[in-house]
Amino acid sequence: MLAMATVGFTVNFWAWALLSPLGPRFKDDLRLSAFQQALLVAVPVVVGSVGRIPVGALTDRFGGRIMFPLVSAATIVPVLYLGLAGHSSLTALLVGGFFLGIGGTAFAVGVPFVNAWFPPERRGLAIGVFGAGMGGTAISALTTVRMVDASGTATPFVVTAVVLAVYAVVAVLVLREAPGRTAPSEPLARRLAATLRLGVTWQASALYAVAFGGYVAFSVYLPTYLKSQYGLTQADAANRMAGFVILAVVMRPLGGWLSDRFGSARVLAVTLAVVMVGALAQAFAPPLMPLGTVAFLSMAAALGAGSGATFALVAQLAPANKVGAVTGVVGAAGGLGGFVPPLVMGSIYGAYGSYALGLVLLAVVAAASVVFTVVVVQRAVRGGRPAGRQVVRQA
């Protein structure tokens, strides 16, 4: 079940990230501004993020066995639209990108589904393994431009749609719910309201907005950054972005495993400190080899591990019957955290011809997150405040 969920997350994230590697090409073909290009790759991110809130709550109610194939099948429609008809204008791309965001909601399906299959002491690692499905963005980065160059714009979209369809059929046949799973009977609105009253919801949301938001921001904007800052070709920039993504993917299960052993708050504090240092170093635009590469790969490793640690925290503190709803809100925060930076970076570069200020802002946010983790989250984990008390009452 963990393998099936991870595959489902991977293929949906592959679809979700199809526009990012083609951003520079669409910018040239359609004569887009830096802000318009950033908006194009950011729209699927924000829709996929906000959509996680209802999808997570629906997964608590109906289960991953229904929601995984449903989300996968629904994602096929915008994928085919973008590949066959929706890439001729900015408006068409934005419409297709809006509905492409459905693929990003698969995350909120998988976390509660996987969480139910594992005991508490193994959930950090299990959810970290599932989270490695974010490597679907690496598949997109490595294959999309090549397939377009070889066979035309429609090819990567058609291939992805076929893979989604195959997965949806297999998921219907194979997926099963964890033994003993009970669906909540409360209305959706009441469950969401109760979720928003949990301390862990807001603590994990703030941290995930930085950790996973930073990962998403780099995965969608890094090709543009590398092309503008260092003059790389589109293919070279996409390949380097894929390396960033792969390292983050590998580190996510490790972040969950480390959280099981040493505590999620400690892992988060260390990883966010690494992000702060890496962002400050890159703000000076050092040579790409070796210092720039080291800075970006350090941030990739830290963001991946931090993302895994955040959901180890959710698995530890969230009530079992609200994991999906909490995941939806936290996942939305992470995606929204990835929506804002590309727009900020595009605007800053358009105004000043430099990305330095944007990277300094990332360092400041990471530093504030370290303080928040040490002062607030660590206290909640140790003393059960505020999330822990509610877990005791509701578990």
- Could you report the per-residue pLDDT of 178-198, keeping only the tens digit for each? 888 777 777 777 877 888 888
**What is the SS3 assignment for the chain?**
CHHHHHHHHHHHHHHHCCCHHHHHHHHHHHCCCHHHHHHHHHHHHHHHHHCHHHHHHHHHHHCHHHHHHHHHHHHHHHHHHHHHCCCCCHHHHHHHHHHHHHHHHHHHHHHHHHHCCCCHHHHHHHHHHHHHHHHHHHHHHHHHHHHHHHHCCHHHHHHHHHHHHHHHHHHHHHCCCCCCCCCCCCCHHHHHHHHHCCHHHHHHHHHHHHHHHHHHHHHHHHHHHHHHHHCCCHHHHHHHHHHHHHHHHHHHHHHHHHHHHHCHHHHHHHHHHHHHHHHHHHHCCCCHHHHHHHHHHHHHHHHHHHHHHHHHHHHHHCCHHHHHHHHHHHHHHHHHHHHHHHHHHHHHHHHHCCCHHHHHHHHHHHHHHHHHHHHHHHHHHHHCCCHHHHHHHHC
Banded model confidence at residue 392, pLDDT cuts 50, 70, 90: very low
Mean pLDDT of the 240-268 span: 87
* pLDDT at position 278: 94
Predicted confidence (pLDDT) at residue 110 exceeds the cutoff of 60? yes
Q: Is 182 inside any structural domain? A: no
Pick from 367, 381, 208: which is nearest to 278 by CA?
367
Mean pLDDT of the 276-293 span: 90
CB 258 within 8 A of CB 309: yes
Amino acid at 99: F
Banded model confidence at residue 7, pLDDT cuts 50, 70, 90: very high
CB 355 within 8 A of CB 225: yes
Q: Is 261 inside any structural domain? A: yes
21-30, 125-134, 186-195: the lowest-pLDDT one: 186-195
Q: Is 181 inside any structural domain? A: no
Q: Is 378 inside any structural domain? A: yes
* pLDDT at position 274: 96
Average pLDDT, the chain: 85
Pick from 222, 262, 257, 229: which is nearest to 243 by CA?
222
Predicted confidence (pLDDT) at residue 157 exceeds the cutoff of 90? yes
Q: Is 131 inside any structural domain? A: yes
Work out how many domains the chain is built from and give that number: 1
- Cα separation, 383 vs 304, in Å, equals 27
CB 239 within 8 A of CB 142: yes
* pLDDT at position 383: 60
What are the pLDDT digits (tens) for 88-107?
888 999 999 999 999 989 98
* pLDDT at position 387: 40
If one counts every other C-beta atom within 10 angstroms of the C-beta of residue 274, the result is 18
Mean pLDDT of the 35-51 span: 82
Q: Is 221 inside any structural domain? A: yes
CB 4 within 8 A of CB 174: yes
Number of alpha carbons in the 13 Å side-chain half-sphere of residue 169: 5
Predicted confidence (pLDDT) at residue 384 exceeds the cutoff of 80? no
CB 26 within 8 A of CB 36: no
Pick from 223, 251, 252, 217: which is nearest to 236 by CA?
223
Distances (CA, A) of 302 to 42, 47, 180, 257: 22, 25, 36, 14
- Cα separation, 272 vs 289, in Å, equals 23
Q: Is 318 inside any structural domain? A: yes
b/e 28-53 (16+ beta carbons within 10 angstroms → b) = eebebebbbbbbbbbbbbbbbbbbbb
This prediction's pTM: 0.74
Pick from 114, 122, 102: which is nearest to 55 by CA?
102
CATH number of the domain encompassing residue 287: 1.20.1250.20
| Residues above pLDDT 70, as percent of the chain | 97
The Cα diameter of the chain in Å comes to: 59
Range of the domain at 261: 2-174+188-394
- Cα separation, 16 vs 47, in Å, equals 10
Predicted confidence (pLDDT) at residue 300 exceeds the cutoff of 90? yes
* pLDDT at position 385: 43
What are the pLDDT digits (tens) for 371-383?
999 988 888 777 6
* pLDDT at position 39: 81
Q: Which residues contact 356 (CB under 8 A, 6 or more apart)?
A: 283, 284, 285
Predicted confidence (pLDDT) at residue 388 exceeds the cutoff of 70? no
Q: Is 180 inside any structural domain? A: no
| Residues above pLDDT 90, as percent of the chain | 32
Banded model confidence at residue 390, pLDDT cuts 50, 70, 90: very low
- Cα separation, 42 vs 340, in Å, equals 8
More confident residue, 382 or 152: 152
- Cα separation, 213 vs 317, in Å, equals 21
Residues composing the chain: 395
Predicted confidence (pLDDT) at residue 11 exceeds the cutoff of 90? yes
Pick from 210, 218, 223, 241: which is nearest to 336 by CA?
210
What are the pLDDT digits (tens) for 55-85?
888 888 889 999 999 999 999 999 999 999 8
Predicted confidence (pLDDT) at residue 331 exceeds the cutoff of 90? no
